[in-house]
């Protein structure tokens, strides 16, 4: 099995068994938009991560993929001449646009999924993509499209799949063993297989200060538990939330990719 195939297979392992999913009162995959809005507002005007630094180093024009409300790009507004935000969530794109307008930052928004909408985007100085890669089972076209549209690529992801934090709860409430991967190291191996040799920056970030009742509600939906088990879940969560998360930023210049006729990304 190739590293790219391993990545996709590991992500497929996160599918929820049908008999559990059938019990869900709400979609377990939906994250409240205010989570992304708070994250962006907390970082506006204060670029503080290696991801932000990489954007500051190379912007110019920026493409923000999975932009949400703008946490990865808008804190770097002083170095950006124009930003294009791509996201599947129209409300979050509206939030992005509102903040870019306040910052007097030229911008446009594109509702859709990368790389499906890549032909709506020109060439930019930097493409930034934060906390999206674990939702991308088919890496090859995703990475290929980045190489066609950006002179520099900056990918941010957690060191371990974020949902592994719920593995003990899945075992407790459903007696279900959940996957442990993929990881950021698996992403690096897959990228290398695709002809990319990224710079790897490891760092820690403070955990998002989510109100406890919101954390319980989101976790309950993630676990496909009914509302009448809210108190039980709250007791299980307790106060043992991590204060920091291990993160990885991957940076590379797509010029290093093989030519299209030689690239494994093209299937030729």
Q: pLDDT of the chain along its 268 residues, tens only? A: 999 999 999 999 999 999 999 999 989 998 888 888 888 988 887 788 999 999 999 999 999 999 999 999 999 999 999 999 999 999 999 999 999 999 999 999 999 999 999 999 999 999 999 999 999 999 999 999 999 999 999 999 999 999 999 999 999 999 999 999 999 999 999 999 999 999 999 999 988 888 899 999 999 999 999 999 999 999 999 866 777 899 999 999 996 433 333 333 333 2
Residue 164, φ and ψ in degrees, nearest 5: -65, -20
Distance from the first to the final alpha carbon of the chain: 19
Q: In this structure, are residues 220 and 113 in contact, taking their beta carbons and an 8 Å threshold?
A: no
Three-class SS of 92-120: HHHHHHHHHHHCCCCEEEEECCCCCCHHH
Domains and CATH numbers, the chain: 3-17+31-163+179-207+243-255 (3.40.50.150)
């Amino acid at each position: 099995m190739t590293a790219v195939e391993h990545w996709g297979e590991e992500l497929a392992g996160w599918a929820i068994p049908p008999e559990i999913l059938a019990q869900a009162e709400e979609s377990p995959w939906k994250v409240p938009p205010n989570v992304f809005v708070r994250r962006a507002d907390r970082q506006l005007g204060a670029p503080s991560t290696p991801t932000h630094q990489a954007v500051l180093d190379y912007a110019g024009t920026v493409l923000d993929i999975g932009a949400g409300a703008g946490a990865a790009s808008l804190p770097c507004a002083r170095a950006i001449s124009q930003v294009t935000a791509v996201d599947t969530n129209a409300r979050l794109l509206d939030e992005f646009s509102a903040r870019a307008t306040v910052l007097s930052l030229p911008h446009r928004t594109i509702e859709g999924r990368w790389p499906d909408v890549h032909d709506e985007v020109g060439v930019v100085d930097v493409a930034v993509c934060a906390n999206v890669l674990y939702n991308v089972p088919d890496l090859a076209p995703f990475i290929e499209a980045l190489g066609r549209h950006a002179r520099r690529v900056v990918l941010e992801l957690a060191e371990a799949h974020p949902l592994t934090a719920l593995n003990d709860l899945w075992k407790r409430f459903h007696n279900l063993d959940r996957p442990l991967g993929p990881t950021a190291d698996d992403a690096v191996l897959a990228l290398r297989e695709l002809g990319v040799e990224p710079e790897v920056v490891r760092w820690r970030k403070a955990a998002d200060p989510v109100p406890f009742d919101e954390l319980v509600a989101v976790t309950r939906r993630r676990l496909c538990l009914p509302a009448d088990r809210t108190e039980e879940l709250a007791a299980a969560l307790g106060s043992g939330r991590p204060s920091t998360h291990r993160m990885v930023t991957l940076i590379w210049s797509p010029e290093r990719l093989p030519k299209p006729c030689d690239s494994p990304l093209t299937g030729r």
